[in-house]
Chain A
Amino acid sequence: GAVVSQHPSRVICKSGTSVKIECRSLDFQATTMFWYRQFPKKSLMLMATSNEGSKATYEQGVEKDKFLINHASLTLSTLTVTSAHPEDSSFYICSAPGWSETQYFGPGTRLLVL
């Protein structure tokens, strides 16, 4: 099946720094990618929809200036957490549309902000 990769898989950073997470579709092109956030024992919460060649669409309550999304090509979307704070620590997962209404998920990136 289609594969979506994420890099890094885990990152620890100091408060106030910025962190970039990459999401790649390895064997297919994705004009749209999705970014989710998942807290421990909680469900996936959609943060934004990344659109190749245009601005991302953010969900209500998600700060677009804090979570910068760039869909640089048909196989790469990046999420940058700017001026990270401890409350931004979470598991970030990207996905790309699959067949019908399904999605292919990346392996996730665990962010810990100290």
Chain B
Amino acid sequence: QKEVEQDPGPLSVPEGAIVSLNCTYSNSAFQYFMWYRQYSRKGPELLMYTYSSGNKEDGRFTAQVDKSSKYISLFIRDSQPSDSATYLCAMIENSSASKIIFGSGTRLSIRP
């Protein structure tokens, strides 16, 4: 079993739709959770960062972490064609010596 599972997609939705992206994980020691957005042939860029369980909202983006279920989500409201990218979840334990574990990424396409 992989430490982090993420549906690779592709996921295609019409412009304006609400998008839900998810990851599950097996390591209960993970405490920091991140979502990175990666455009084609570019490096990932940090989108959302959450510590422990709870919700965090930033504009059209909301990140949720449910540590009891080992499940994290990213919601995108009013999706735009410019949101079309690959979204990678990432997580790390509570030590700076730990390495970040990435999900495989979900390819998202927003249809105009």
Given contacts A41-B107, A42-B104, A101-B32, contact A93 B99 (CB under 8 A): no
The interface size bin for chain A is 20 to 34
| B-contact bits for A91-106, CB 8 A (1 contact / 0 none) | 1010100101111111
The interface size bin for chain B is 20 to 34
Given contacts A43-B88, A46-B99, contact A105 B104 (CB under 8 A): no
- Output the least CB separation between A65 and chain B (Å): 22
Chain B residues proximal to chain A, CB less than 8 Å: 6, 8, 32, 34, 36, 41-46, 49, 51, 88, 92, 96, 99-100, 102-105, 107
Chain A residues proximal to chain B, CB less than 8 Å: 4, 6, 34, 41-44, 46, 49, 91, 93, 95, 98, 100-108, 110
